[in-house]
Chain A
Amino acid sequence: MRPHGAQRVRSKTTIGGVLSELSIESTQSSKRIPVYRILVQWAFCIIAVVFGLRVAQEANLVRVNFSRVDEASELFRPSSNRTVHHYEYWIDPKNESTPGLLGAKKSPRVYVGRHPILVRPWPHPDPVEMVHAYKMIARVQLEQQRLYGIQSWKPIIAITPMYVRTFQSVHLTGLLHTLSLVRGPVTWIVIEAGGASAETAALLSQARVDKLVHLGASEQLPQSFKGRRILESHLRIEGLRYVREHNLEGAVVFADDSNVYSMQFFDAAQKVRWVGTFPVGILGHAGFEEPDLSSTLDFHKPFDLPVQAPTCDTSGNIKGWHAFGSRSLDGEFVKGDREEETKLEWAGFVLNARAVWTTEPDRPKWIKEWIEWAHPEDGQYIDLRSIVSDETKVEALGRCGSDEAVLVWWARMEARSDSKFPSRWALDSPLEIIVPAKRTPWPDRIFPLSSPPPPAPQTTKHRGGNRSGGRDGKSRRGKRRPDVVKSRPLDNQRESSIVSKGMRT
């Protein structure tokens, strides 16, 4: 504070403030402010600013570089409890590098020669990173759906005939989760033979669908496979009757509980206008092959896989069907029941729900009235094709052609009815006694044990082909291990029929 009567500038302890005081003093005392002094002061000011900023930026750079370049040390240090982290080097006994070969260029960071193969100390997946990766995948797929997916989503109505049996929970869990994953609203209509039962209701309660309808039909399921097929078609008619009475809206999918669906099936089902059809893979065999069957398999050319599909002419209209007769564990069909084989499975069809409404003015003429085609009282198998009077009007939803992707697989694999299916994944006590069951819904087939074991079919995985060839990364050929089919019917049935003692349910 200056006692002078001079102007008091606010004297903060800033450079400017101090210098202003100095200059004020100088203007007080002398008439001239020396230019050089001002310049020197400015120069110092600027240098200090610049220098301080560069130092700060250097610190910035160091911090940022550290997180990118020295990623290993920074990444491992805070997050996990692993302490020592350095890469394990595989040191090669030969001369490691010959950096002198790069000639007269600037200092090379990359050299020609033998390099160590860097392996981290624990070269296995890390669960935290997997979670990040899956979140990223989910986000990418959401974006794909938003950009390219179907914008207006019709509700899906799934009709499932069902009955209580050993493998019900196996099949139903799969279907349940499939339907829970479908985008958009799903109405699930379950028609149960033998009346709505508590077991089924308990299983169905886990479904995350918008509407669940559990109907019961009074007939029990017959023993023969043929009879079962007929009853199931009638049960589906009951489901359609429910749709008709309640005027439900959407695309009707006939989801048997043992079907396996690809989620693209539901995308493709959206395209239905009135009646659509898909290729369905038919896997009736439960994994075994029998010599008798091979002789009747001739007419399955041109398909290599058992697929029920439409065949089209060049413009995409349907001109016929490729039917695959349902093969079953019992011998009835196998003996060349051609008539049965021309009845198509319902799983390959998708209906517009309005096709079965009571009054629907837009319905085209080639869709028959309900009473004309839906008469289960006949006791005959009802093929869904009977809903149309002109089969060429049926739309081929999966692109028709024998080599297109099959989006749904129909399989019938059942266990004997009095066998118990474990309620949990693990059995605490081993199976002590194995006894063949006495009552079965399916006739016993005893395969003579002296016959050679069935040839193991090569199972192909979906992604990436066969990895056993490249197991150790080396390009060796011809070392593939064929995958042996683990289940043969007799063993399967034996293992599934266990005495209730010794096993916790």
Chain B
Amino acid sequence: MGSFGPSCSLGRECGSAGLKGPRLWNYGFWVGVLVLVLVCLVGGADSEVGHQRISGSAGDVLEDNPVGRLKVFIYDLPSKYNTDWLKKDPRCLTHMFAVEEYLHDFLVESPVRTLNPEDADWFYAPVYTTCDLTPNGLPLPFKSPRVMRSAISYISSHWPYWNRTEGADHFFVVPHDFAACFHYQEEKAIERGILPLLKRATLVQTFGQNHHVCLKEDSIVIPPYAPPERMQTRLTPPSTPRSIFAYFRGLFYDTGNDPEGGYYARGARAAIWENFKDNPLFDISTNHPGTYYEDMQRAIFCLCPLGWAPWSPRLVEGVIFGCIPVIIADDIVLPFADAIPWEKIGVFVAEKDVPVLDRILSTISPEDVLEKQRLLANPAMKQAMLFPRPAQPGDAFHQILNGLARKLPHDPSIFLKPGQSFLNWTEGPLGDLKPWGKDSL
């Protein structure tokens, strides 16, 4: 090493100033490498496809115990809001929307309930808005907005807790097709939007679709109610070989409401039929077999396309019976999506890719299929989709409470300052503003 001169400015060592240059650039080199590595990691994480926002894996958060993590106060509403509906029509206890009744029963007896409202983190008002049934058993949502308004005005006049936060620490169960938009037709539901008084409350609902008016950011999406006993009595031995490739039973065209096709299910179900009706890999039909549950246990994939609304009880049935759900509904938000990594469990197919569904399914590698089946076999997963009565640890009731507990502690800004107000009690269609409850149900 030669000498570069006696003095140097960038460092103390001058004797081996010749090393200054290379040493600096050594540092520069390592800095560059570090930057490169960092950028690689960050950029690499971005370029991984299919990564969604799931944080918990199917096992960590699913088995949390909500007791001790939150307290719920249940308003004592007059029976005209809840039990009178049940007396009028007990079919509410068995249809797909029965969760509103069962969650009420569960909370009343749960250890998270507190009788002291000052102590409570969350407030629950049991209003059965989906219990006004037609003779066929379908719920009519026309009175539901008024019922809900009436309940909220009752709460706000009898207890101070609603006005304290204007509902931001309250939660309601709205399991109907389009949740708090309270209509079964999507266009009308979108026009109405979420009931204005529920703007700040947390909604527990079955409907979930991204970029949709009827899904609030902080809603908790739950599975539809399916009677657990009915499914669990029909389990076949797991050694029964799975010989059906893809299985589906249900309507493809809703000739009653959509005679020309293209409207129902956004044309996806019709596309499934037209493309695969003669394909032996796809066991699809509109009939109602008596062996529906047994057939699902003999199938590898169960198709879960959207119908009039994106959610479907087939997802629950597929999970219980170990059949990998193939979800064909763009932008759908699946239940407990922050606790359950659905992409690892199910197969998501865009609606426009339905014509090549057989290619998509048959090119999944068998190891991936086995991995998904292993995840589905996890009992915590199956338990999280069910509403058993009496409630069991890890079931969907507990997942709802876990979801509520994860939102705690409340941001202090939800408490209104004096004079602050967010809700406009006169907002909404005129028909909703009519008072309800004095005369008849």
Chain A interfacial positions (CB closer than 8 Å to B) = 5-7, 9, 16, 19-20, 23-24, 27-28, 31-33, 38, 41-42, 45-46, 49-50, 53-54, 57, 60-61, 64-65, 68, 71-72, 75, 87, 90, 92, 94, 98, 101-103, 105-110, 112-120, 123-126, 129-130, 132-133, 135-137, 139-141, 143-145, 147-150, 263-264, 267, 463-467, 469-470, 472-475
User: Given A28-B5, A54-B43, A108-B211 in contact, is the A463-B244 Cβ separation under 8 Å?
Assistant: yes
Q: How far is the CB of A131 from chain B (nearest CB, A)?
A: 8
In the docked arrangement, what's the CA distance between A92 and B241, Å? 43
A144-B242, A469-B285 given; name 18 further pairs at CB < 8 Å: A7-B2, A19-B25, A31-B5, A54-B39, A101-B190, A113-B263, A114-B260, A115-B262, A117-B261, A119-B271, A119-B355, A125-B278, A129-B362, A133-B362, A137-B242, A140-B373, A467-B287, A475-B251
Q: How far is the CB of A22 from chain B (nearest CB, A)?
A: 9
- In the complex, whether B266 has a CB less than 8 A from a CB of chain A is yes
Stretch from B16-24, B91-99, B382-390, B400-408 at the A interface: B16-24
Q: Choose among B253, B263, B370 the residue that contacts A114 (Cβ–Cβ < 8 A).
A: B263
In the docked arrangement, what's the CA distance between A72 and B300, Å? 24
Identify which of residues 182-239 in chain B touch chain A, using a CB-to-CB cut-off of 8 Å: 186-187, 190-191, 193, 209, 211-213, 237-239
User: Given A49-B36, A463-B295 in contact, is the A101-B191 Cβ separation under 8 Å?
Assistant: yes
Q: How far is the CB of B412 from chain A (nearest CB, A)?
A: 29
Q: How far is the CB of B331 from chain A (nearest CB, A)?
A: 5
Residue of B nearest to A76 (CB): B356
A46 touches B32 (CB 8 A): yes
Chain A residue numbers with a CB within 8 Å of B57 are none
Chain A residue numbers with a CB within 8 Å of B2 are 5-7
- In the complex, whether B421 has a CB less than 8 A from a CB of chain A is no
A38 touches B4 (CB 8 A): no
Interface CB pairs A-B, < 8 A, 14: A6-B4, A7-B2, A49-B35, A54-B43, A68-B49, A72-B353, A90-B262, A107-B211, A108-B211, A109-B330, A118-B352, A125-B281, A264-B240, A470-B286
Number of contact residues on B: which range applies?
35 or more
In the docked arrangement, what's the CA distance between A98 and B138, Å? 27
In the docked arrangement, what's the CA distance between A38 and B11, Å? 14
User: Given A118-B267, A144-B238 in contact, is the A132-B363 Cβ separation under 8 Å?
Assistant: yes
A9 touches B239 (CB 8 A): no
In the docked arrangement, what's the CA distance between A145 and B237, Å? 12
B35 touches A50 (CB 8 A): yes
- In the complex, whether B420 has a CB less than 8 A from a CB of chain A is no
Q: Choose among A46, A109, A129 the residue that contacts B211 (Cβ–Cβ < 8 A).
A: A109
In the docked arrangement, what's the CA distance between A27 and B23, Å? 13
Chain B residue numbers with a CB within 8 Å of A133 are 245, 281, 358, 361-362
Identify which of residues 355-390 in chain B touch chain A, using a CB-to-CB cut-off of 8 Å: 355-356, 358-364, 366, 369-370, 373
A120 touches B356 (CB 8 A): yes
B28 touches A136 (CB 8 A): no
Chain A residue numbers with a CB within 8 Å of B286 are 469-470, 473-475
B46 touches A57 (CB 8 A): yes
Chain A residue numbers with a CB within 8 Å of B271 are 117-119
Residue of A nearest to B185 (CB): A112
In the docked arrangement, what's the CA distance between A473 and B261, Å? 12
B262 touches A117 (CB 8 A): yes
Pick from A5, A20, A68, A110 the residue with the most CB of B within 10 Å: A110
